[in-house]
């Protein structure tokens, strides 16, 4: 498996972040937003490494859904274990970090997945920015609800929000060339881009899976990709993490949309459980004259007023918050439309 995935296609973003880290008002730093796997954490880490090379002190804070119930959990690695009631905790943590920033002549804190921050940690982050006590590089996943104190960072204009995009086909081809350390034929490179949608996380999982299965191999000095890609164990695990929580009925709704979106509301509710359609799409799905599509970013179905161009047929599509994952697929000879979910 290639260990080296050099950063590609983020020069402008790094320049933008650098400019935001140099300004001192109203807040210092930036919010990096984007779909799952688009490269938020990687970019934030690279930005902190660049700051460190310029002599700044840096700290890394990673929020997780499981630690959300614990006050200040995300910041404990940088503030140390503090005791006391919440108000004291917040004051001690803010003072401690401000002291570090003063002593070190400036501090840049990376806050990863800030949408998972517990209330006290998000208040601390907000205070640090509001008082300009430290510079921050914050990542959030688009479409995920975040604490008020986090959304206030960009809504109140304290920090600029940068929306990260997937890699272009050229960037994907460049990255593949470097990762494989050799020339990849252009048809294969384009296929990787189409299937992954330029999402570096899908791309990495796909490449690793195809290398492991021996379908991506070097012949006469050129990398070639033969056969049909399969969902590797790593990719299946990722998809399970993202949409494994859906009920059987909701998955059925997605199956139909994945096969032939957009679909009319009345057709979809006729084919599936109307309650599951409404659960996945909200009240808008009650409006019979509209069409429905899956909105991966918001993990919900969205309605649209008129049919948009369909995606290519013979594609098996799994949806998750990062977008669609498309793999070639041929329906069974008897015409059945049931889709093999990767973990079934």
Ligand X SMILES: Nc1ncnc2c1ncn2[C@@H]1O[C@H](COP(=O)(O)OP(=O)(O)OP(=O)(O)O)[C@@H](O)[C@H]1O
Q: Which does 7 bind (CB under 5 to 8 A by kind): Mg ion, ligand X, none?
A: ligand X
Instruction: Pick the closer one to Mg ion by CB: 89 or 175.
Output: 175
Give 335: exposed, middle or buried? Use CB within 10 Å, 0-12, 13-18, 19+.
exposed
Nearer to ligand X, 7 or 297 (CB): 7
- The token pair at 178 is 């470097």
In this chain, which of 21, 28, 31, 39 binds ligand X, going by CB under 6 A?
Answer: 39
Lookup: tokens for 222: 């050129």
Range in contact with ligand X (rule: CB under 6 A) among 29-37, 121-129, 310-318, 335-343? 29-37
Map residues 176-205 to x or -, x wherever contact with ligand X holds by CB under 6 A: ------------------------xx--x-
Least spacing, CB of residue 202 vs Mg ion, in Å = 14
Q: Determine if 144 is a binding residue for Mg ion (CB under 5 A).
A: no
Binding of residue 41 to Mg ion (CB under 5 A):
yes
**β-strand pairing of 216-219 with 135-141:** unpaired
Which residue, among 212, 167, 185, has the nearest Cα to 6 in the 3D structure?
167
Sole window of 37-45, 155-163, 187-195, 290-298 interacting with Mg ion (rule: CB under 5 A): 37-45
Residue 50 engages ligand X in binding (rule: CB under 6 A): no
Nearest distance from C-beta of residue 150 to ligand X, angstroms: 15
Among 17, 20, 40, 258, binds ligand X (CB under 6 A): 40
Residues between 89 and 148 that touch ligand X (CB under 6 A): 141
CA dihedral defined by 211, 217, 222, 224, rounded to 10 degrees?
Answer: -90
Q: Closer CB to Mg ion, residue 5 or residue 329?
A: 5
Q: Please calculate the CA angle 39-119-126 and round it to the nearest 5 degrees.
A: 70
Which of Mg ion, ligand X, none is residue 36 near (CB under 5 to 8 Å by kind)?
ligand X
* Cα 121 to Cα 76: distance, rounded to the nearest angstrom: 9
The Cα–Cα gap between 193 and 255 comes to 23
**Per DSSP, which regions of the chain are E strands?**
29-34, 57-62, 107-112, 135-141, 160-163, 183-184, 216-219, 222-225, 263-264, 291-295, 300-304, 315-320, 323-328
Q: Which of residues 203-242 bind ligand X (CB under 6 A)?
A: 204
Residues with Cβ within 8 Å of residue 19, at least 6 apart in sequence = none
What are the residues facing 303 on neighbouring strands? 292
Q: Which residues bind Mg ion (CB under 5 A)?
A: 41
Q: Which residues bind ligand X (CB under 6 A)?
A: 5, 7-10, 34, 36-42, 141, 175, 200-201, 204
């Amino acid at each position: 498996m290639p260990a080296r995935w050099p950063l590609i296609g983020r020069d402008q973003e790094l320049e933008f972040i650098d400019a935001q880290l140099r300004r001192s008002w109203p807040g210092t730093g930036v919010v990096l937003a984007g779909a799952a796997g688009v490269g938020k954490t990687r970019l934030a880490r690279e930005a902190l490494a660049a700051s460190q090379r310029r002599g700044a002190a840096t700290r890394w804070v990673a929020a997780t859904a499981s630690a959300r119930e614990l006050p200040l959990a995300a910041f404990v690695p940088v503030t140390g274990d503090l005791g006391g009631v919440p108000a004291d905790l917040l004051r001690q943590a803010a003072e401690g970090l401000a002291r570090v920033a003063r002593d070190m002549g400036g501090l840049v804190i990376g806050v990863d997945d800030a949408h998972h921050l517990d209330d006290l940690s998000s208040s601390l982050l907000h205070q640090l920015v509001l008082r300009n006590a430290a510079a921050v590089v914050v990542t959030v996943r688009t479409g995920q609800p975040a604490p008020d104190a986090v959304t206030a960072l960009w809504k109140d204009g304290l920090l600029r929000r940068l929306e990260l995009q997937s890699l272009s086909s050229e960037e994907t081809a460049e990255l593949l060339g470097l990762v494989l350390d050799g020339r990849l034929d252009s048809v294969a490179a384009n296929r990787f881009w189409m299937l992954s949608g330029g999402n570096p996380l899908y791309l990495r999982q796909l490449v690793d899976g195809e290398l492991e299965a021996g379908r991506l191999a070097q012949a006469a000095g050129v990398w070639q990709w033969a056969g049909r890609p399969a969902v590797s164990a790593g990719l299946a695990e990722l998809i399970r993490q993202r949409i494994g929580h859906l009920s059987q009925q909701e998955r059925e709704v997605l199956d139909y949309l994945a096969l032939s979106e957009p679909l009319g509301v009345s057709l979809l509710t006729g084919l599936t459980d109307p309650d599951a359609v409404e659960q996945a799409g909200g009240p808008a799905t009650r409006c019979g004259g509209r069409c429905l599509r899956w909105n991966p970013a918001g993990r919900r179905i969205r309605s649209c007023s008129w049919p948009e161009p369909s995606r290519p047929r013979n594609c098996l599509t799994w949806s998750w918050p990062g977008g669609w994952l498309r793999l070639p697929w041929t329906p069974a000879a008897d015409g059945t439309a049931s889709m093999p979910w990767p973990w079934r």
